[in-house]
Amino acid sequence: MAIDVQQLADGVRTGNRAAISQAITLVESSRADHRAASRELLALLTPVVSSSEAGKAVRVGISGVPGVGKSTFIEALGIWLVGEGHKVGVLAVDPSSIRTGGSVLGDKTRMTELAATPNAYIRPSPSAGTLGGVARATTQAISILEAAGFDVVLIETVGVGQSEVTVAGMVDTFLFLTLARTGDQLQGIKKGILEIADVIAVNKADGDRAVEAKATAKDMAGALRLVYAGTHGWVPPVLTCSALEGTDIDTVWNRVIRHREFLGKKGIAEKRAEQQLDFTWALVRDELDQRLRNNEAVSAVRAEVREAVLAGEMPATTAADKILAAYDNKRDA
């Protein structure tokens, strides 16, 4: 059945939850007709996003070490933000979906209270075939949520490594959650994760762990001062909080807002413009990947190339050249 894109766009603008879900499902799809429809939908919604208050939504990426309690933190933050009069959308980026084709469906079950809140919307990550596909779907989902009137969009990255960099390229502020005495204050810097963090929070600063959390925050702040010594840019603040008890969640958010104030309207506009340019090329790469996979000439040599590479009869460079030659010959024909 053909999709009525105009009707869908109207439903998104009015905040209809069914329309929002259908729109995000559409931009997640890899079907050629759905991709065309999603482009039409985004073309209708983009003027709304860029010209209205919806386009000024606060975009925050959230990541953290395993066991840090991201879902508990996001639910506590989301509930607090809703209480402050905000509309909150939560999206998850799960790199495991790249390998399995599945998505993290546990987010809604973990954030039961936030999921039941009328002014909140939680969406599990897309089951995209590549990290680029995940980025494409999530970036477009952000635009849909903003067009629907959500003024805060939280993007959770479930994995580590490249997914954090990908999410950092979608948001205004990147929030990194860590735990007391895990060694992350030094190891994280080596891995580069703290280099993309704008705000750092040591979670689970409750009960007997409160003193240890404050000590960890102090040590990490000292390490960061060394990293950023001699620079005039933003130095990530290191805070403590307890998502379980709901303490100092507002303090963490205030630092997020302070980071936005540091960037200023011009800085945020320039950052988003650069992100859009990067996203443009990500879309090009994703589209070329789709065309390559669906190319008949490539499909004709795929099995032969695969067997030759696995048997050690053909080096990867030659195999790649053969695949590209097949694609170019079909395209030029």
| Residue 126 belongs to a domain | yes
- What would the mean pLDDT of 317-328 be, rounded to a whole number? 93
| Residue 27 belongs to a domain | no
- Based on the domain organization, do 309 and 243 belong to the same domain? no
Q: What is the pTM of this model?
A: 0.86
- Based on the domain organization, do 235 and 311 belong to the same domain? no
- Based on the domain organization, do 243 and 323 belong to the same domain? no
- Would the pLDDT of 8 be above 60? yes
- What would the mean pLDDT of 172-183 be, rounded to a whole number? 84
- Would the pLDDT of 117 be above 70? yes
| Residue 2 belongs to a domain | no
| Residue 1 belongs to a domain | no
Higher pLDDT, 109 or 295: 295
- Would the pLDDT of 251 be above 90? yes
- Based on the domain organization, do 93 and 232 belong to the same domain? yes
- Based on the domain organization, do 306 and 258 belong to the same domain? no
- Based on the domain organization, do 77 and 128 belong to the same domain? yes
What's the CATH number where 100 sits?
3.40.50.300
- Based on the domain organization, do 76 and 213 belong to the same domain? yes
Residue-wise pLDDT for 58-110, tens only, equals 999 999 877 888 989 999 999 999 999 999 999 987 655 444 444 444 455 57
pLDDT of residue 196: 87
Annotate 210-232 with DSSP letters as a single string: HHHHHHHHHHHHHHHHHHTTT--
Q: Using CA atoms, how far apart are residues 289 and 267, in angstroms rounded to an integer? A: 33
Residue ranges making up the domain that contains 186? 53-263
| Burial of 234 (C-beta count, 10 Å sphere; 0-12/13-18/19+) | middle
* Count of structural domains, the chain: 2
- Based on the domain organization, do 116 and 252 belong to the same domain? yes
- Based on the domain organization, do 95 and 235 belong to the same domain? yes
| Residue 304 belongs to a domain | yes
**Strands of the chain, DSSP E:** 58-64, 88-93, 120-123, 152-157, 173-178, 199-202, 238-240
pLDDT of residue 51: 59
Residue-wise pLDDT for 191-211, tens only, equals 567 778 999 999 999 988 899
Q: Write the DSSP symbol of residue 273.
A: H
pLDDT of residue 291: 87
- Would the pLDDT of 38 be above 70? yes
